[in-house]
Structures are given as structure tokens and as C-alpha cells.
Amino acid sequence: MATNHLDMTGKNVLITGGSRGLGREMALGFAEQGANIAIVSRKLDSCEETAKEVEALGVKAFPYACHVGDWQQLDEMVDKVYQAFGAVDVLINNAGMSPLYPSLDQVTEELFDKVIGVNLKGPFRLSANVGTRMQAAGGGCIINISSTASLNASPNAEPYGAAKAGLNALTKSFAYGLGPEVRVNCIIAGPFLTDISKAWDMEAFNERARASIPLARGGQPNEIVGAALYLASDSAAFTTAALLAVDGGSH
């Protein structure tokens, strides 16, 4: 009988930004493999909608509204998730934001702090809080979702690229700080055609993709799931501090 190396039966997975886009796809992908899912994002109704989809797959879901850039809200959320599930085996720091701005000199302090808060401060606090609990429990896995903006020039998204570069650095540092019990890895995501892409000029994007991406296209949201499942699974037992690009070759 073939072994399912990605089996997550009985595991508890906490996903920030879990109600839409890549987060929703990972929530459903892990649920299909038997995991219970805590779905966290700013809007409770959106979390509850995804929770229904998760529960329809025969596992438990815990929807919770939280601002990932707010330290105190994060701590309260983690307490609630542990009360609901008893443990967290996998933390996926997926929540992100990259607001548009007209020019660099018009980036306000409020916008800058908000981008750093959601993309870097939140993952730091969650990894420290949940990761320490995982250590005490004897094991666990943290997956950070970064961006090719962390590696490449990111015109019109400079604070976002800087925050994600910081997340890459945190991945390696936390792998040392929480090891050997906890593995910490990072997926560097390229351009994915999530609901955010509806605002893109797709004709211009497709032209750029053909010229600059080896696979000549953007990613479908479900195409991140296999990488996340691998990093969370026992198949990746010797993988930590890794930066795995899932970007069609665009980095």
C-alpha cells in the first residue's frame, strides 16, 4: 500500500491571511490532507466562510478575526487557538499587504508602519509565541510566506520588499533559535493570480511574464499548496532555514 507522505491527519494548522487567496488555498489543501485549520484574518465573516469549506472536508475549523500587525491581538488569538485545538503543529505566516502609493516621498509614516507591522512584526511575534510553545511540546513547523520582491528590485512596493526581506532573515534566525525541535522555512512566492490580480493590467502582465518568467505565466493559487505541504510534512524532516522559491523561475 502506498504511503501518503503529505498526510496531515490530526495536525492543527494556524494560517494568517487564511480566508482568501493563497491562505485559503493552503487552508483547503491542508484540510484535504486531514488537518484541523485555524483561519485568521481581519474580517470574521470571511474567516467563517472559509471555515465552512474546511469543515465540509471533515475536519475542524476555527475562524478568528485579528489584526496581524497588533501584538496584543496576536497574543489573544494564539491563546484562543490553543484553547480550541490544544496545540498548534504548523504555523503559516501568510498575511501580507502592499498598499499602492503615488511616489516614494508620499509614503507616509502610517503606511510604512502598517506594511512593516503586517509583513514583519506580526510574523516575528507569532513565531516567537507559537514557536516557543512548539519547542516546549517537542516539535512543530513554521512556514513564512515571502515574496520575490524580497530578492528583486521592487519599484512601487519598496516597504513591502524590505519587510519581506526581513522575513527571509527571520526565517533563518528562528530556525537556529527554535531548533532542533522546530523547523522554520520560507516560501518565496512569485506573482500569483489571486483576487489581488483582478486589479492588474493583465495584458501588460502577460507580456512581461512571457519575457521575464521561464514558465511565462503567473501562478494559480493552488500551485503553492504542494510546497507548503512538503515543508510541513515529515518528508521535510531535514529541511530548515530554507528559502524555497515558488515563482515560475522569476527570482
Please give the grid coordinates belonging to residue 216: 511565462
Return d(Cα 183, Cα 197) in angstroms, integer.
32
If one counts every other C-beta atom within 10 angstroms of the C-beta of residue 72, the result is 9
Over residues 80-97, mean pLDDT:
97
pLDDT for 181 equals 98
Condensed to tens digits (0 to 9), the pLDDT of residues 144-187 reads 999 999 999 888 899 999 999 999 999 999 999 999 999 999 99
- Buried (b) or exposed (e) across 215-244, using 16+ Cβ within 10 A? eeebbebebbbebbbbbbbeebeeebeebb
Supply φ then ψ for residue 33, to 5 degrees: -95, 10
SS3 102: coil
What structural domains does the chain harbor? 12-246 (3.40.50.720)
pLDDT at 190: 87
Q: What is the pLDDT of residues 192-220, one digit of tens each?
A: 888 776 666 788 888 888 888 888 888 89
E strands, 73-147, in order: 90-93, 140-147
List active site positions. 160
DSSP assignment of 13-55: EEEETTTSHHHHHHHHHHHHTT-EEEEEES-HHHHHHHHHHHH
